A and B are shown apart, each in its own frame.
Chain A
Amino acid sequence: MACLKSKRLRLCAFFKQARAGALTAPVTLGPLGQTRKFQMFSYCTDPDSLANLSWLACYLTTGKHMSLYWSVGTVLLLLAITAPSALAFGFAGASAARSRFLPVSVLGRAYIALVRGVPDIAFFLFFVIALDQFFEWMRHSVKCPDWQEPIRQGNDFVVCAEAKLPLGNAAQWVHETYGFFLAVLTFAIVFGAFAANVLYGAMRAVPRAQMETAEAYGMSPRQCFWRILVPQMWVFALPGLSNLWMVLIKATPLLFLLGVEDIVYWARELGGAKTARFTDYPHGDWRMWYFLALLVFYLLFTRVSEVVLDRLMKRLTHGQATMGGEAQRKTA
């Protein structure tokens, strides 16, 4: 059962932990599907006889560790999907906020204002359940039109069996993918609002003269928007967007709260003290070191992003009628 389907997220995480560390012999782990007995090096067959370094090499390449490395991939995948979709949400939000049609404009502004003033984690925790119930309710109303009972029965949310998402008999990977999909959508909605705020500001920062010139050339509002405003706004949006990218990177550990088996989950899982009964590689409580490694990973990641974004900014300001562009022109 995927964690999201369980009604008690935290409890569910606990059960999963209990299950993953259980005695029951070969447990399949993660998307790679290796068993506990996975070995990368041939000399790993008898861990007790190994010296320090080779022991460490064997330890760090067990099946569970592979799941940890795999979950780094999950984080990167999340970033790769979320960043563009948040940008798309943001673009839609910002365009809506600029609209001359009042209801659309109000909708766009409300979307942007919504995320202000409320902690984001609250949004994350809220949207994951709310979206899940929303999808199930939609499917429910389509697939079971003659269902009589109410959907909310006391403390339960009940839809007909055909409307369950994913279906009760679906494979494990479907559950995991669905959970991941919900997480991505949640991230995209929350960060879309931030991106909308940035893009809205950037659209207003494009010099008015540019738009007036476009109008003077007889362009329609639509043409002005797509041919003049959109291409020029990016340089104004980039500082805000790069800031947002950093924040997005730093928000990825929150996946853990959404019930996805991410790096935080595996760091807690692997770092906990292990006795010889449960594993071939017994050790004390190493969670501190695992989280230190995560800390370093994120530091490196943000540092690299910073450098890359700086370069990108330099390239984008080239030839722009801004202070930065002017400075580049003078030094050249």
Chain B
Amino acid sequence: MSCIETIADYGLRSLGMGERLLPRDGFTLCQQFTLIGSGMIWNIYFGVLALTSGFFLATALAVGKASSFGPARKAAEWFIFIFRGSPLFIQFFFAYFLFLSLKAVSPVFDPLTAAWAGALIVLFFNTAAYSGEIFYGALLSIPKGDLEAADAYGFSGWKKFSKITWPTMLRLAWPAYTNEAIFLFHATTLVFFSGFPARQQKGDALYYANYFADKTFNPFVPYPILAGYFILLTLVVIGLFGLINKRLNRHLPQDARSKMKLKLNIIR
């Protein structure tokens, strides 16, 4: 079977399209590349959706944690503490079994036990908590002078927030937020190892890499392929976030622009 055929058969396998049976023996490099790449669709799906939705909740959490209104502050603090203080792996397990028992209550909750919705919700909350903390830190380090200048120009309320506070917060938080994004994409690999079933073997990249490693008992091929894909993904994320960083910093004099300094990324 030529490689083109393999791609046609397995390119969208992770979505359930194409050949139903996974390869069983005589694994070729092409099969491994195709299937693991096909699994990346899920990693990108989880990452992109959780990031975009989490961004808004994170802003709300940061504002809430910095607010002087007691209940809002407490709520934001607890939310952030719970999601940052416990392992994502356990959160996935807990959420899955929680959704299972909700399913017994009403069929409305049916989709939640599937990874595409259930795991997405957990990732959404999780990334919102982590980025909320980053945004909160940035919010506190907005230069006092900037806010005083805004006051002097007659900005107040929503206008001050949307024109001055929020963009400055984003600008300060952006390098750390980029890390968080990279992180999140890595965290998506946990989904199918933590309770959420990969129905009909529709899994993510790590699921297929693990499949091949199990079948061939040779970890030296599938995992480096997976690593290659993820390094590519990381580079794309860094590139895109770098563009946004450039835009956020465009008003600053050339040498004062904050260079994207990326620190190590670590699991949660």
Q: Is the CB of A121 within 8 A of B193?
A: yes
| A interface, size bucket | 35 or more
Where chain B touches its partner, the secondary structure class is: helix
A126 touches B217 (CB 8 A): no
CB contacts (< 8 Å) of A250 on chain B: these are 86-89, 267-268
| In-complex Cβ contact of B87 among A129, A267, A271, A298 (8 A) | A298
Bound state CA distance, A250 and B267, in angstroms? 8
Asked if B219 and A295 sit within 8 Å, CB to CB, the answer is no
Q: With A130-B219, A250-B268 in contact, is A117–B230 under 8 Å at CB?
A: yes
Q: Which of B201-239 contact A (CB under 8 A)?
A: 206, 209-210, 213-220, 223, 226-227, 230-231, 234-235
The reply to whether A194 and B230 form a contact with Cβ atoms under 8 Å apart is: no
Given A120-B267, A122-B209, A247-B267, A295 and B223 contact (CB-CB distance below 8 Å): no
Task: Evaluate contact between B214 and A7: CB separation under 8 angstroms.
Answer: yes
When the two chains form their complex, are residues A247 and B266 in contact, meaning their CB atoms are under 8 A apart?
A: yes
- Interface membership of A39, Cβ < 8 A: no
Verify if A252 is at the interface (C-beta below 8 Å from B): yes
A244-B266, A264-B93, A299-B86 are known contacts. Are A119 and B219 too (CB-CB below 8 A)?
no
- Asked whether A118 is an interface residue with its Cβ less than 8 Å from the other chain, the reply is yes
Pick out which of these stretches binds chain B: A100-108, A151-159, A166-174: A151-159
- Convert A192-215 into 0s and 1s, putting 1 for each residue whose CB lies closer than 8 angstroms to a CB of B: 001001100000000000000000
Whether B98 sits at the interface, judged by CB under 8 Å, is: yes
B81 part of interface (Cβ distance < 8 Å): yes
| A121 contacts B190, C-beta separation under 8 Å | yes
Judged by a CB distance under 8 angstroms, whether A288 is at the interface is: yes
In the bound complex, CA of A125 to CA of B208 (Å): 12
B87 and A251 form a contact (CB under 8 A): yes
For A267, what are the chain B residues with a Cβ–Cβ distance below 8 Å?
93
Q: CB within 8 A of B206: which of A125, A197, A249, A264? A: A125
Contacts A121-B190, A125-B223, A194-B266; A253 near B230 (Cβ below 8 A): no
Give the distance in Å from the alpha carbon of A126 to the alpha carbon of B190 in the complex.
15
Known contacts A122-B223, A129-B217; A155 and B267 CB within 8 A of each other = no
- Nearest B residue to A157 via CB reads B217
Answer yes or no: A285 CB below 8 A from chain B CBs. Answer: yes
Q: Report whether B214 and A121 are in contact in the complex, using a CB–CB cutoff of 8 Å.
A: no
* Contact B97–A264 (Cβ < 8 Å): no
Query: Is B7 positioned at the interface, with any CB of A under 8 Å from its CB?
Result: no
Q: Which of A117, A120, A298 has a CB less than 8 Å from the CB of B231? A: A117
A118 and B264 in contact (CB under 8 A), knowing A250-B87, A285-B97, A295-B90? Answer: no
A294 interface hit (Cβ, 8 Å): yes
Point out the residues of chain A lying under 8 angstroms from B266, CB to CB: 120, 194, 243-244, 247
Give the shortest distance, in Å, between B22 (CB) and chain A (any CB).
Answer: 14
Q: From A196, which residue of chain B is reached at the shortest CB distance?
A: B264
Docked pose: A130 CA to B224 CA in angstroms: 12
Q: Which A residues from 1 to 28 make CB contacts under 8 A with B?
A: 7-11
Closest to B88 in A: A250
A116 in the interface (beta carbon within 8 A): yes
List 16 A–B pairs whose Cβ atoms lie within 8 Å, in order of A's numbering. A117-B231, A117-B235, A118-B230, A119-B230, A120-B186, A121-B189, A125-B213, A129-B217, A155-B27, A157-B217, A194-B264, A198-B264, A250-B267, A253-B89, A295-B86, A295-B94
